[in-house]
Amino acid sequence: MTPQDQQQQNIQSVGGDTVREQDKMMLILAYAPCLLCLIPLLTVKDSEFVKWHAKQGLVLTVGGGIALSILGVIPIVGFATCLLGPGLLVVCIMAIMKALKGERWNLPVVSDLASKF
């Protein structure tokens, strides 16, 4: 395949997985807050790569929200929510960057839970 053909198809292949041009917005939504990760999970049917990231984003969003809620109630460690919120945002941004490069980033607990559904 010549570089011109690849450019015409708008396909980027880095790190083993193929990222199609139409999947880029869905990969960003996969790690967006407010359960926007449900959009790619329910609408994209032809890309296992996007589904994998959407599942991981769902677990990260729900798990992070539950952790923030629980820690916010506990008086002694409630200050940890000041660190956990921005930390969760940094993890989501890093996951988006890796997804757009065609990489799968296995987060220790999140990936295990996401692979179960």
pLDDT digit string (tens) for the chain, length 117 residues? 554 444 434 444 445 577 888 899 999 999 988 888 899 989 988 889 999 999 999 999 998 888 888 887 887 777 777 888 888 899 999 999 999 999 999 988 888 888 887
What is the pTM assigned to this prediction? 0.78
Contact by Cβ (8 Å): 49, 19: yes
The CA distance from 5 to 76, in Å, is 60
Contact by Cβ (8 Å): 95, 60: yes
Cα angle 31, 42, 88; round to 5: 15
